[in-house]
Amino acid sequence: MRLRNKVLLGVGLIFGLALWFASSPSGLNPDDFEVLEGDPAQGELVFNIGGCASCHMAKEAEGEARFSLGGGQSFETPFGVFYAPNISPGKAGIGGWSTLDLANALLKGISPEGAHYYPAFPYSSYARMALQDIADLKAFLDTLPAVEQDNLPHELPLPFRIRRSLGFWKLLFLKTDPIVESAEPRGQYLVEALGHCAECHTPRNFLGGLDVSRWLAGAPNPEGKGRIPNLTPGGDLASWSVEDIAYYLETGFTPEFDTAGSTMVEVVENLARATPDDRLAIARYLKALPPLANAPRP
């Protein structure tokens, strides 16, 4: 009996160590950043398409206030309430970060201290970003006003407070492969990575991972009213042309003479600052997606 207990204890320890190492944060190779220099002008384009201000500025900020990225906006989810952090170049923000630190956050969901970030920060999409775009973004962020505002702690029940468990979530859902085959590589990059469109327009499973079988086919509205539109050719934009989509992304006006509403207003404001070619690339990618019908309303 004693021998059996020792064997079981040994197996348990080995299993526990395996789980510990499997869930450990794993960062990028620092050598990849030794000669990488950022361009602030290009970084502003990355900043706008990536929608950084939408989450990290004060709610409904306008004009120059959009560039004060002190965080604090709240986001209610089935897992608890998350607060956007300060990403300004101040001491309370990311002023002490290197480009490698920012890349680890965006691509790996890891803090400079080696802790897992929660996927309310959409690194499961940003994981496909190019290193040069990250270097450019860092160079632009460094030009913005420093905001000395402390981060608010997330309000999460157990077991979601245990960050180490996010290592297992990443094993399931943190992927870098393209989601769909596309003849529009720039549009694919902007939609699947930098623009992180799926974070709102794709439904999630019970673990909070994106249901890629319903890629961009619409999802429940986290604000509780209506639903987020289906972007595939089989859904809400079925009758829209490539030009219609590109024009909407620039102006917010639909072919039916309606206007963008809710959080899409901010998305359009960001994409209006993109180049015409990038808006067309996004539109071409969307029109080439496999058509999926709208999900039945609950």
For residue 218, with 0-12 CB atoms within 10 Å meaning exposed, 13-18 middle and 19 or more buried, which class applies? buried
In percent, the amount of the chain with pLDDT more than 90 equals 72
Whether 203 shows a pLDDT value over 50: the answer reads: yes
Whether 84 shows a pLDDT value over 80: the answer reads: yes
pTM score, whole prediction? 0.90
The answer to the question of residue 120 being in a domain is yes
Other beta carbons less than 10 A from residue 62's beta carbon: 9
Greater confidence (7 vs 223) lies with 223
Whether 20 shows a pLDDT value over 70: the answer reads: no
The answer to the question of residue 9 being in a domain is no
For residue 102, with 0-12 CB atoms within 10 Å meaning exposed, 13-18 middle and 19 or more buried, which class applies? buried
Final residue of a structural domain among 176, 205, 227: 176
The answer to the question of residue 275 being in a domain is yes
Final residue of a structural domain among 176, 209, 228: 176
Taking alpha carbons only, the member of 233, 205, 234, 240 closest to residue 219 is 205
Query: Cβ(161)–Cβ(17) under 8 Å?
Result: no
88: amino acid identity, one letter: S
Mean pLDDT of 83-93: 95
Final residue of a structural domain among 176, 205, 238: 176
What is the Cα–Cα distance from 200 to 214, expressed in whole angstroms?
12
Say what the pLDDT of residue 1 is. Answer: 52
Dihedral sign computed on CA atoms, order 272, 277, 283, 285: negative
Whether 13 shows a pLDDT value over 90: the answer reads: no
What is the total count of domains within the chain? 2
What is the Cα–Cα distance from 37 to 216, expressed in whole angstroms?
34
First to last CA, the chain: 55
In percent, the amount of the chain with pLDDT more than 70 equals 90
| Tokens 């220099």 belong to residue | 37
What is the Cα–Cα distance from 188 to 183, expressed in whole angstroms?
9
What is the Cα–Cα distance from 156 to 82, expressed in whole angstroms?
8
The answer to the question of residue 269 being in a domain is yes
The answer to the question of residue 88 being in a domain is yes
Please report, to the nearest 10 degrees, the dihedral formed by the alpha carbons of residues 55, 57, 62, 63 taken in order: -120
Query: Cβ(190)–Cβ(276) under 8 Å?
Result: no
Judge if 183 and 165 occupy the same domain: no
Rg (CA), the chain: 21
The answer to the question of residue 27 being in a domain is no
Judge if 172 and 186 occupy the same domain: no
Other beta carbons less than 10 A from residue 153's beta carbon: 9
Token pair of 210 as six digits: 């994106």
Judge if 39 and 153 occupy the same domain: yes
Domain that includes residue 60, residue range: 35-176
Judge if 203 and 131 occupy the same domain: no
Mean pLDDT of 154-170: 89
